Chain A
Amino acid sequence: METFSLVAQGFAVALTPLNIALLLLGCFGGTLIGALPGLGPVNGVAILIPLTFAFGFDATSSMILLSAVYFGCMYGGRISSILLNIPGDEPAVMTTLDGYPMAKQGRAADALAISGVASFFGATVAVIGLTLFAPLLAGLAIYFGPADYFALYILAFVTIGGIAGVDPRKTLLSALIGLMIATVGIDPISGMPRFTLGNYHIYDGVDAIVALVGLFAISEILMLLEKAAKDRARPIGLDSWLPDLREIWKTRWAVLRGSIVGFVAGVLPGAGASLGSVMSYSIEKQASDTEGTFGKGDPRGVAAPEAGNNAASGGALIPMLSLGVPGSGTTAVMLAMLISLNVQPGPLLFERQPDLVWGLVASLYLGNVALLILNLPMIGLFSRLMMVPTWSLMPIVAAVSFVGVFSISNSTFDLELMIMFGVLGYLLRKLDISLVPLVLGLLLGGDMERNLRRAMSISDGDWGVLIASPISVTLYVLTLLFLGLSVWLALRDRKRAQSRVMEG
């Protein structure tokens, strides 16, 4: 039972006063960020990264803070879904389907409590899964050589965009743009400056954190400006926060199913929390919607997607920590922080920095309990803070982003770079090109190139080394299968859309 002693050791790390304070702060801040429409987990974590960096916390404390924010967002997203019918973040979309009808029927307190408890169970299942499976995966990854890592990164780029709905070419193009940006700066192996165009500011390369804050926070401001500025609907009032416990008990199977489905979706690359909640909801609907009550305020329709998205967001941490390949947008952003702190996630992380891994796991257990306790009685406070109007929220987001980025290097060049990335992010989002593969390319590009060159040095220039090991061949086969599937789906969607046009 080595795992138990490791987790116990982790609790010793997590229970230092600084880490407890950061955990509680992160839980509260995360819930608020999640509840505010327009600010999701990716933007929230992206804005906070330069700040944690500037404060000089160690990697463990920073990870605890950011993971608490990440988990808090998943809890917070449901509040505006249920009370406003506006999802606070993307994964909370499914919660509006049954949550808002429940609130309209005067069962807002029940819906909030059910979703809170479901979130707790989903996240706890995910953390237990993380405790058990992450070391296993990291153990396997020890056998990976440079060529295998190169293949793994290719698989990551192909899968990160998800399966359905997007043109796979756009996902790949996004990853390639990220890789192009990653090669800017001095080549670490030969010491030669590449693509700097003589600008000494970027000799060190483009700082991933500056790019991230621009891509996510600044582009969000530009997206918001597209819509007419109008007042949001008033939220449904709350009489009490005390729920009916029997209602919660009735959703137990929905919670269990949702947690497991969500967890599996989270571990798979490229799925993430949004797909986790969609899959949990549709599976729950098929399993238990015998009377056609789903969509009209069925408590199980609130419980399943909430359990699902929390389980998925925890599950997404597994590939990020054990392979260094994130499974979702937010974990990709967290990877940026680890790399900036010179922590290379992957199998060696478990060997070299067990304090970080297990301290993080322990604080996720604690954070879940804290979030459950925080969320039930303080729901009234959150629902009032949620009403902060956009015109006053986004300037604060901009100011905090500027402070964070400025404090990294004290140069205004980075601020200009951040704004340029904001415009780039906005244009790509308009073109339906996901930003997550770009971030992944930017983050993994350096390591990917290093592994390719190392593999080629070992083989003395023979390209055959790339397919010489069974691991890399398996990864390439998976990549091809996934590519084939997504191309087929994209073509099918296109044909369907065309035939609809023809009929119409």
Chain B
Amino acid sequence: MTVRLSGAAIFVIAALYTWYGRGYSAPFGDVLGPSVFPMIVGILAMILSASLVVFPSGQVAWPDRSHMLRQIAALAVLLGYTFLLLPLGFPIATFGLIACLGIVLGGAPLKAVALGAVLSPGLWVLFDQVLGLPLPLMGHWLER
């Protein structure tokens, strides 16, 4: 069932893609124009995904509820990091990232917090100071 549903989802995306791509045209320049290649790709993708809906192959075993909750928690941590990196600065945001991900991955909470506390300043020193990649130290929430 999962394969059929995914095939249908890919079909819809490919169809939308082909629909959007059909109208691109360049007034001058090359013969083929910017629309033909996306049309070929989109139509082929539609055919293949439709065939997956009709003749699905393979089985998908989804994880049970508790593992799925862990995956969602991990995604929330990762997404949270992208929102908090600039407001909080690299060391604090990364501390949160490492500590929370460590806990989600099944590490003992105290150990995970300790790991984050050691590694986040360490990574900042390594990348920003030693290797010269500029990373925000204090976020704009803390600088005011």
Footprint of B on A, CB under 8 Å?
A: 51, 54-55, 167, 169-170, 172-173, 176-177, 179-180, 183, 187, 189-190, 192, 194-195, 218, 221-222, 224-230, 389-392, 394-396, 398-400, 402-403, 406-407, 410, 412, 415-416, 419, 422-423, 427, 430-432, 448-449, 452-454, 456-457, 460-461, 490, 494
Contacts and interface: CB of A to CB of B under 8 A. Distances in A.
Interface string B60-90: 1011000100110011001101110110000
Contact of A427 (B6, B13, B97, B104): B6
Nearest to B59: A432
A398 B93 CA distance: 12
A192 B31 contact: no
A422 B49 CA distance: 21
Size class of the B contact interface (CB-based, 8 Å): 35 or more
Interface string B37-56: 11001101100110110000
A396 B106 contact: no
The 8 closest A-B pairs by CB, nearest first: A229-B106, A391-B107, A190-B26, A395-B101, A391-B105, A415-B82, A176-B45, A395-B98
A448 B20 CA distance: 20
A230 B60 CA distance: 23
B133 A407 contact: yes
Contacts of B116: 395
A180 B17 contact: yes
B31 A221 contact: no
B13 to A, nearest CB: 8
Contact of B78 (A195, A218, A224, A461): A218
Contacts of A192: 24, 26, 34
20 contacts: A167-B58, A179-B41, A190-B29, A190-B30, A194-B34, A194-B38, A195-B38, A226-B67, A230-B106, A392-B115, A395-B101, A395-B119, A402-B94, A403-B133, A415-B82, A419-B75, A431-B60, A452-B32, A453-B31, A460-B31
A477 B78 CA distance: 46
A187 B127 contact: no
Contact of A391 (B10, B31, B38, B106): B106
Contacts of A189: 26, 29-30, 34
